[in-house]
Amino acid sequence: MSNVAVIGAQWGDEGKGKIIDWLANRAEMVVRFQGGNNAGHTIVVGDKTYKLSLLPSGVIQGKRSIIGNGVVVDPWALLEEIARVGAAGLRVTPDTLVLAENAVLVLPIHRELDEVRESSNSVQRLGTTKRGIGPAYEDKVGRRALRVVDLKDPASLPAKIDRLLAHHNALRRGSGAEEIDAGALLEALKEIAPKILPYIGSSWRELDAARRAGKRILFEGAQAVLLDIDHGTYPYVTSSNTVAGQAAAGSGIGPRQIGYVLGITKSYTTRVGEGPFPTEQLNDIGEKLGARGNEFGTVTGRKRRCGWFDSVLVRQTTITGGIDGIALTKLDILDAFETIEVCVGYQLDDKVLDYLPADANEQARLTPVYETMDGWNSSTRGARSWAQLPANAIKYVRRIEELIGAPVALLSTSPDRDDTITVRDPFVG
Ligand code: GDP
Ligand code: IMO
Ligand code: MG
């Protein structure tokens, strides 16, 4: 029996929420370890659809859910989300949700700064979700952030706020923006503190107790390896590490406790926001993938960019992310294509590369090398066993395994929890 970490193997929105919800049934605890409410997971259970951002997807199965220290937490957004899912019939209480005391807070100043940088005339534009995630992580690394635990001790807040604003107000003075009023921020924090306090706990102690009791833990990654601050397409990335290694650091457990790493992988490729995308299809194919796959962001509603499956990238993220096996999702979206292209290399001048070069100038000059496969032109939607898959669909899946160097552990054929084929149970390893 082993614990499982789930991470995204592409640029996000691979269907992590659906797979985590499905796996949560086999776990006793679900832990988020990075990111914040920039994540958006749509989870379909029968006739109900849930949209989660900050809450671990384990809350749907009523599992003890931890927001680990590696997450940046907007407390207003958290309460709003708890109220929103509550209205949809999902009760989240301090018995089911624990918020790590050493997690960093996302404040209104972070959201505002993110928005200013994303304004259309800004040279800093990256296409972020404007949730303040980057600015909050900057303050964390700059050692001036406020943390969840600070809400417990209002008397300590003024000095901490002064330290934080010494940085932000200097920036604001420089850009001609109005300074932040320390008193107003203090009042806002004092007002929200009693509503957050009941959820505050210790991620590392929760996990240690679970481990000692032999409980199965599911680590829930947000975003994806190509958005990782180190291993992604920098600077068009998010501000946290999204690889499996972060599951340990971002929750307070040793790396050996992560037994199996499941990389969630879409059967084609999508990306939201700016940045390189070698197999992007700015044509009818891209439009068809987007329309069939309903590729609009959960958080921002933005249209996702679409393209063919890129085995070079997933081979690379399998290595950098530490992926043992993948869950291949949205196979059904490819049901209506005569032929399907898979990228197997990049032509760069007179060379063919089997990896994505780190240099943005080189990335821009890559031409994908495609292998053409026959489509299956029949429905795989809702398939729950291999036997229900057409031969060409099986060929496609097998070829992907070969190209990326990792086996398919799960296969997903619709948004619904139950339309999932188990090839190998990740918890058994
Ligand atoms: P996440 O951020 O990785 O959790 O993914 P999102 O929830 O943002 O986006 C994935 C979308 O695809 C959601 O709307 C899911 O309901 C949907 N989805 C997941 N798996 C499948 C699948 O196998 N087939 C289809 N058609 N939709 C899926
Ligand atoms: P889930 O968990 C897809 C992208 C943004 C932008 C970049 C930086 O649903 O897969 P940020 O707000 O994090 O500073 O934005 O990262 N991004 C995501 N793209 N899915 C996500 O999460 C994302 N979270 C951030 O679009 O390009
Ligand atoms: Mg998403």
Q: Are residues 299 and 413 in the same domain?
A: yes
Domain boundary among 176, 196, 216: 196
Q: Give the pLDDT confidence of 130-186 residue by residue, as tens digits.
A: 999 999 999 999 999 999 999 999 999 999 999 999 999 999 999 888 999 999 999
Rounded to two decimals, the pTM is: 0.97
Domain boundary among 223, 243, 260: 260
Asked whether 15 lines ligand 1 (CB < 6 A), one says yes
Q: Are residues 52 and 129 in the same domain?
A: no
- Closest ligand 1 atom to Cα of 224: 3
Asked whether 330 lines ligand 1 (CB < 6 A), one says yes
Cα angle: 73, vertex 42, 393; to 5 degrees: 135
Q: Which of 13, 21, 139, 324 is catalytic?
A: 13
Query: What number of helices (H) and strands (E) belong to the chain?
Result: 12, 20
What is residue 20's predicted lDDT score, i.e. its pLDDT? 96
Domain boundary among 196, 218, 248: 196
Q: Are residues 248 and 397 in the same domain?
A: no
What is residue 337's predicted lDDT score, i.e. its pLDDT? 98
Q: How far apart are CA 236 and CA 293, in angstroms?
A: 23
State the average pLDDT over residues 118-139.
93
Indicate which CATH number applies to the domain containing 220. 3.40.440.10
Of the candidates 24, 26, 27, which has an alpha carbon nearest to the alpha carbon of residue 43? 24
Count of the separate structural domains present in the chain: 3
Q: How far is the CA of 35 from the centre of ligand 1 (A)?
A: 19
| Window from 38-47, 77-86, 231-240 with minimum mean pLDDT | 38-47
Asked whether 276 lines ligand 2 (CB < 6 A), one says no
Q: How far apart are CA 4 and CA 327, in angstroms?
A: 13
**Per-residue pLDDT band at 24 (split at 50, 70, 90):** very high
Q: Are residues 144 and 21 in the same domain?
A: no
Is 179 among the domain residues?
Answer: yes
Asked whether the predicted pLDDT for residue 298 surpasses 80, the reply is no
Asked whether the predicted pLDDT for residue 1 surpasses 70, the reply is no
Residue 109 makes CB contacts below 8 A (sequence gap 6+) with: 132, 135, 168, 180, 185
Q: Which residues lie at CB < 5 A from ion ligand 3? A: 13, 40, 298
Q: How far apart are CA 393 and CA 386, in angstroms?
A: 10
- Closest ligand 1 atom to Cα of 412: 23
- The per-residue b/e assignment along 60-99, b for 16 or more CB within 10 angstroms, e otherwise, is bbebbbbbbbbbbbbbbbbeebbeebeeeebebeeebbbb
Asked whether the predicted pLDDT for residue 212 surpasses 80, the reply is yes
Q: Are residues 192 and 256 in the same domain?
A: no
Q: Are residues 388 and 256 in the same domain?
A: no
What is the dihedral sign for C-alpha 406, 412, 417, 418?
A: negative
Q: How far is the CA of 15 from the centre of ligand 1 (A)?
A: 4
Q: Give the pLDDT confidence of 355-405 residue by residue, as tens digits.
A: 999 999 999 999 999 999 999 999 999 999 999 999 999 999 999 999 999
Q: At what angle do helices 182-196 and 75-87 cross, to 10 degrees?
A: 40
What is residue 98's predicted lDDT score, i.e. its pLDDT? 98
Q: Are residues 91 and 109 in the same domain?
A: no
First-to-last alpha carbon distance for the chain, in angstroms, is 7
Q: Are residues 149 and 203 in the same domain?
A: no
Asked whether the predicted pLDDT for residue 429 surpasses 80, the reply is no
Asked whether 329 lines ligand 1 (CB < 6 A), one says yes
DSSP string, 252-266: T--GGGEEEEEEEEE
Report the C-alpha dihedral over residues 387, 393, 399, 404, rounded to 10 degrees.
-90
Is 212 among the domain residues?
Answer: yes
Q: Are residues 88 and 152 in the same domain?
A: no
Determine the 3-state secondary structure of 38 from DSSP.
coil
Q: Is 110 in the active site?
A: no
Asked whether the predicted pLDDT for residue 299 surpasses 90, the reply is no
Q: Which residue has the tokens 């706990």?
A: 201
Is 428 among the domain residues?
Answer: no
Q: How far is the CA of 406 from the centre of ligand 1 (A)?
A: 21
The percentage of residues in the chain with a pLDDT greater than 70, rounded to a whole number, is: 100
Q: Which of 21, 41, 139, 150 is catalytic?
A: 41
Asked whether 413 lines ligand 1 (CB < 6 A), one says yes
Q: Are residues 370 and 223 in the same domain?
A: no
Indicate which CATH number applies to the domain containing 296. 3.90.170.10
Q: Are residues 136 and 159 in the same domain?
A: yes
Q: Are residues 226 and 84 in the same domain?
A: yes
**In angstroms, what is the C-alpha Rg of the chain?**
22
Asked whether 311 lines ligand 1 (CB < 6 A), one says no
Q: Give the pLDDT confidence of 254-267 residue by residue, as tens digits.
A: 999 999 999 999 99
What residue numbers bound the domain in which 307 lies? Answer: 266-422
Asked whether the predicted pLDDT for residue 276 surpasses 70, the reply is yes
Q: Is 13 in the active site?
A: yes
What is residue 4's predicted lDDT score, i.e. its pLDDT? 98
Indicate which CATH number applies to the domain containing 161. 1.10.300.10
State the average pLDDT over residues 313-329.
98
Q: What is the mean pLDDT of the chain?
A: 96
- Closest ligand 1 atom to Cα of 264: 3
